[in-house]
Amino acid sequence: MEHRIEQIKKQLHAQSYKLTPQREATVRVLLEREEDHLSAEDVYLLVKEKSPEIGLATVYRTLELLSELKIVDKINFGDGVSRYDLRKEGAKHFHHHLVCIECGSVEEIVNDLLEDVERIVQNDWGFEVKDHRLTFHGICKQCQQSAVKAN
Amino acid sequence: MEHRIEQIKKQLHAQSYKLTPQREATVRVLLEREEDHLSAEDVYLLVKEKSPEIGLATVYRTLELLSELKIVDKINFGDGVSRYDLRKEGAKHFHHHLVCIECGSVEEIVNDLLEDVERIVQNDWGFEVKDHRLTFHGICKQCQQSAVKAN
DNA sequence: TCTTTTAATTATAATAATTATAAAATAGTA
DNA sequence: TACTATTTTATAATTATTATAATTAAAAGA
Ligand SMILES: [Zn+2]
Ligand SMILES: [Zn+2]
Ligand SMILES: [Zn+2]
Ligand SMILES: [Zn+2]
C-alpha cells in the first residue's frame, strides 16, 4: 500500500502535481477497494468517512487528474455513471470486464486477451492502438448454477 | 430502407409494441445516419426537422425500447453522453469501434474479431457471453499521415 | 523568516443528460 | 360505438458533472 502511494506520488511529481492530503485520501480509498468499480460519488462517500472536510468537486478533479496520468481508468458500464478503476500494478493496458446481466456483478480479467486482435487492427485497419475498452455482458458462473438448480 | 422498417415493425409487434409515427420517424433517422453515432439529443434534433411536434422524452423512450429489443446498441465513448448505434442488418453481435484520440473520428469494424477471445472467456472463466463492447482508442490513419507530414 | 506567487480546495451555483409525472391523445378491441 | 390499454406531450424533477469566485495551503524567493 505505502509502496504504491509512493509510486503514485512520484508519478504526480513527475508532472509537477502535488500529492495533497485530499488526493492521498482519494488514492487510499481506490487502493483499499481495488476490486470494486466505484463511481465518483462512491469514492466521495468513502473518503468522507476519514476526511469529512473534503468536497465532491475535489474528488471529481482528483479522479480526472488520475485518469489523465493513466493511474486510473474511467469506465462506463451503461448505467449512467462513470466508474474509476485503478490500473493494476505494472499493467501497461487496461484490464477487461465481465458484467453479469442477471446479478450485476463485475469480474475482472487481467490477462491481455487482445494482443492478436490489436495486431489485426493495426495491420488491416492502419489504426495505431493506444488503449482499449473490452467488456463482456453475459451470465456469470454463480447465476448459471442458480439457473440449473431452479430447474 | 422500407424493407428494414418493415422488419423492425415486425420485431416490435412480436413484443406487442406499436410502430407509432414518432417511433417510425426515429427509426428513419437512425437508418439515414447509420454510419454515425448519434446522441439522443442529436436524434431528437434530426427527427424534429421532419416531425417538429415530437418531444425529447419520446425520443429517449423510443431509443430505450429499441435498445431492449436489440435493434440499436447503446454505447458510451466516455464523453458523458450515450450514443445509439443501429445494429447492422443480420448482425448477431455488436460491431467494434476505433476512436481517434486526435481528431475524435469513430470508425467501425463489422468483422467479429472476438470469436477466439469469447471462447477463452467461456472456457477459462465459465462466463456465458451474450454481448460485448470493444472500443480501441488510438490514432487513425489520417492523423498518422498528418503527423508524418508535419515532421 | 517574511513575502510573493502559484496551485489546490471549498462552497456554491450552473449546466447537461436523463427520467418521472399527470393529463391528453391515440390505437386496438369488445 | 364505447372501452381499455398504450403512447405521447408538456412539464417538472432528478442526477451527474463542471464552472466560478473566494479562500487556503504550499512552494519559491528575498
Ligand atoms: Zn476493473
Ligand atoms: Zn450473475
Ligand atoms: Zn484522427
Ligand atoms: Zn458503430
Write out A93-120 in H/E/C secondary structure. Answer: CCCEEEEECCCCCEEEECCCCCHHHHHH
> In Å, how far are A11, A66, A80, A88 from A16, measured between CA atoms?
9, 13, 33, 23
Q: What is the distance in angstroms between the Cα of B40 and the nearest Cα belonging to chain A? A: 14
Only one residue has cell 511529481, namely A13
The letter for the amino acid at B76 is: N
For residue A117 the three cell numbers come to: 486482435
Q: What is the distance in angstroms between the Cα of A121 and the nearest Cα belonging to chain B? A: 9
Picking from B116, B128, B137, the nearest residue to A138 by CB comes out as: B128
> In Å, how far are A135, B10, B38, B79, B137 from B109, measured between CA atoms?
16, 28, 17, 21, 13
| Radius of gyration of chain B from its Cα atoms, rounded to whole angstroms | 18
Distance of CA A141 to the CA centre of its chain: 22
CB neighbour class for B62 (10 Å; exposed up to 12, middle 13-18, buried from 19): buried
Q: Return the pLDDT at B149.
A: 75
The count of C-alpha atoms lying within 13 angstroms of the C-alpha of A7, restricted to the half-sphere facing its C-beta, is 14
pLDDT in tens, A131-151: 999 999 999 999 999 877 777
Q: Which residues of B23-50 are buried (b: 16+ CB within 10 A; e: fewer)?
A: bbbbbbbbeeeeebbbbbebbbebbbee
> Model-level pTM greater than 0.85?
yes
Q: Return the pLDDT at B1.
A: 81
Q: Return the pLDDT at A66.
A: 96
In the three-class reduction of DSSP (H, G, I as helix; E, B as strand; rest coil), residue A69 is classed as coil
Nearest partner of A9 among A38, A33, A40, A31, judged by Cα:
A31
Q: Rounded to a whole number, what is the distance in angstroms from the first to the last CA of chain A?
A: 46
Nearest partner of A78 among B78, B123, B19, judged by Cα:
B78
The count of C-alpha atoms lying within 13 angstroms of the C-alpha of A134, restricted to the half-sphere facing its C-beta, is 23
Q: Return the pLDDT at B20.
A: 93
| Radius of gyration of chain A from its Cα atoms, rounded to whole angstroms | 18
Only one residue has cell 487502493, namely A31
Q: Tell me which residues have their CB below 7 A from strand D.
A: A 18, 20-21, 39-41, 56-57, 60, 64, 80-82; B 17-18, 20, 22-23, 53-58, 61-62, 80
B62 Cβ neighbours under 8 A, 6+ residues apart: B22, B23, B26, B27
A100 contact to strand C (CB, 7 A limit): no
E strand map for B2-69: 38-39
Q: Return the pLDDT at B148.
A: 79
Mutate to test the interface with A, among B128, B139, B143, B148 (most CBs of A within 10 A): B128
- Cβ atoms B26, B50 nearer than 8 A: no
Q: Return the pLDDT at A142.
A: 95
Give the integer Cα–Cα distance in Å for A148 and B84: 35
pLDDT beneath 50: ranges in chain A:
none
For residue B58 the three cell numbers come to: 419520446
| Shortest-distance nucleotide from A80 CA to C1' | D16
The pLDDT tens digits along chain B (151 residues) read: 888 998 899 889 888 899 999 999 999 999 999 999 999 999 999 999 999 999 999 999 999 999 999 999 999 999 999 999 999 888 888 999 999 999 999 999 999 999 999 999 999 999 999 999 999 999 999 999 987 777 7
| Shortest-distance nucleotide from B16 CA to C1' | D6
| Shortest-distance nucleotide from B61 CA to C1' | C19
Q: Which residues of A89-125 are buried (b: 16+ CB within 10 A; e: fewer)?
A: eeeebbbbbbbbeeeeebbebeebbbeebbeebeeeb
